[in-house]
Amino acid sequence: MTAGTAVHAVADTTNAASVVMFLVVVSATLLLCFHFGVNSEGIDDLYVASNSLKPWRNAFALAGDLISILTLLTTTTLVALAGYDGMALAASTVGALAVLLVLARPVRNIGRFTLGDTLDERFGCRSIRVAAAVATLSVAIPLAIVQLTASGRATAALLGLSGTGPAQLCTIFMGTMMVCASALTGMRGNTMLQVVKTVMLFACMGLLFLALMTKMGWSLDRLLADASDRSENPESYFTPGNLHGRDTAGRFDLISMQITVVLGAAVSPHMIMRVKAAEHGASARRSVLYAMTMVGVFCGMIVVLGLGAAAVADGQAGQDFDLQSASALLSLVHSLAADGGGYLLVAMTVSVVFLTSLTVVAALTLSAGAALVHDVWAQGALRGRIAADVELSAMRWVTPVIGTLTVFLSVLAQSWNIQFLPQFVAATAASTILPSLVYALFWKGCTRAGVVWSVYGGLGSCMLLQFFGPQVSGSPRALFPAADFAWFPLSTTGLVSVPVGLAAGWAASRLTSRKRDCGADERYAAVAARAAIDDDRPLTAKG
């Protein structure tokens, strides 16, 4: 059975009840958007929910931010197809939050709303804000395109529609909803949507997990044995190298993928803004800790479901679904739905795919809008001489424009092979945002030029290496399969671009004088002191 027939089979189990349930979820989401859109007050509320989010609520939202449509669909498919390599990717996703755990308190305490605010607090200049905005847009826009494209395909498949046209229509529908959500809700509304999504996601994954394990007779041995038997390489299913190959380049590619995800997945601009929404530093750290635990449980379920998708495949797993359509989870839903409870599983999965895409893309659009309006325009061009309500109304206009542009690009991308974009986005975040944050927050010797060059150096190396990599040309699965100008052997560039970003920042800091940064030492002292603040309670001495 091919991916296409699996899709049609899923469609057979979709009945009116599942469509009605999906529409109920869509309506409830819109109502939530309107409710929180009306209640949104001021610029603080729009960007960071007035720093009012308690740890558990923020943790649900943070977990929702990290669990994107890629984690849900692509990681499951990778586990099913590549065994060990997919499981390593799932472990790396959990590890990504460990990086954010260390950064959470300083990031929360330093800077008001955006990445640009955090970096500017240390150096106080416009070039830093522009660099931060460039890094934010380089991550947020491509990531939103990937999310919308994948969710358009998945929704079309789950509703029984195949081909590029229906996928484009679903992308437009999802995109329109996303534009509404991002235009109407700020951080507070998005948080509520993320909480709803995370709860539904866990319920859906839990149901699928129970159904699968019941089908497997609660035998882990049977699951592992069936999954490896149905794979293309049963003997080597649980060894590294199924995804990128077992030669030297393939092995380093797997390491590069893990490093990139660990260092880049959790420092995306929308997650930086989410951390800033916590009520204080300790709350931010605890949010990340709870989110990490939730993502750990989720990734465990994803691994089991991925193995299950391979185990219950009709023929060989590679013939049932492929990486491009990322349809392993959909194939598993079909198989389990056929055993009973069909419409409920299908409807829940459609709703979860919809909500996952909607919330993450809305958060990304908010962070992209904040980078343009707050960093570049309000604080950069106008140097902060702007009324808060003017900035607020500018955000209300800019966010839908960014959203519409993203939808347009996503519709175009439906006919392209954009498998390289997720890796590019993670590598860009790891090579630009992480080095600049680490230098600005933890290194006294860092200069303004150091931060700027860590951003541009990391971004430049990412773009260059990705362009000349195997995912853009030189292979049948590349963006330009007919052309071959690839000389860089790795499909994920993080192994090289992260050190380049760090080295560029270090070299620029060494080569430029700190005397040019007025009051750099005083600013660093203030930043270091502020970074240590844990919570709002005054801890008074006994004497």
Partner 1 sequence: MSRHQFESASSERWSAYHPEQEEVVALRERRGANAGVERRFTLVHAGTWVVAAGLQLMAGTILGTRVVSELTVGVLLLAVLGAVLLGTAWWFDRESRDVGRTAAQRGQAYTIFSGANR
Interface ranges with partner 1 (CB under 8 A) = 51, 84, 87-88, 90-91, 94-95, 97-98, 101-102, 105, 109, 112, 220-221, 224-225, 228, 235-241, 246, 251-252, 254-255, 258-259, 262, 280, 282, 285-286, 289, 292-293, 296, 299-300, 525, 528-536, 538-543
The Cα 365–Cα 266 span in angstroms is 17
Q: Report the alpha-carbon distance of residue 496 to residue 109 in Å, rounded.
A: 31
Terminal CA-to-CA distance of the chain, rounded, Å?
A: 76
> Which residue, 98 or 390, is less far from partner 1 as judged by CB?
98
Decide: residue 533, CB within 10 A, 0-12 exposed, 13-18 middle, 19+ buried.
Answer: middle
Nearer to partner 1, 178 or 311 (CB): 311
Q: Between vectors from CA 149 to CA 455 and to CA 406, what angle results, nearest 5°? A: 55
Question: Which CB sits closer to partner 1, 87 or 170?
Answer: 87
User: Nearest distance from residue 88's CB to partner 1, in Å?
Assistant: 6
Closest CA to 57 of 351, 360, 290, 272: 290
Specify the residue, 2 or 239, whose C-beta has the smaller distance to partner 1: 239
User: Please, what is the minimum distance in Å from the beta carbon of residue 539 to partner 1?
Assistant: 4
CB of 129 to partner 1, least distance (A): 17
Give the list of residues 6+ apart from residue 5 with CB closer than 8 angstroms, or none.
none
The nearest distance, CB 498 to partner 1, in angstroms, is 13
- CB of 150: closest distance to partner 1 in angstroms? 25
281 Cβ contact list (under 8 Å, min separation 6) = 104, 105, 106, 108, 109, 531, 533, 534, 535
301 token code pair? 């379920």
What is the nearest approach in angstroms of partner 1 to the Cβ of residue 13? 30
CB closer to partner 1 out of 75 and 325 = 75
Q: What is the helix (H) or strand (E) element at residue 286, kind and residue range?
A: helix 281-311
CB count in 10 Å sphere of residue 447: 23
Taking the least distance from each CB to partner 1, the nearer of 484 and 521 is: 521
Q: Minimum distance from CB of 51 to partner 1 (Å)?
A: 7
Nearer to partner 1 among residue 85 and residue 517 (C-beta): 85
The radius of gyration of the chain's CA atoms, rounded to the nearest angstrom, is 23
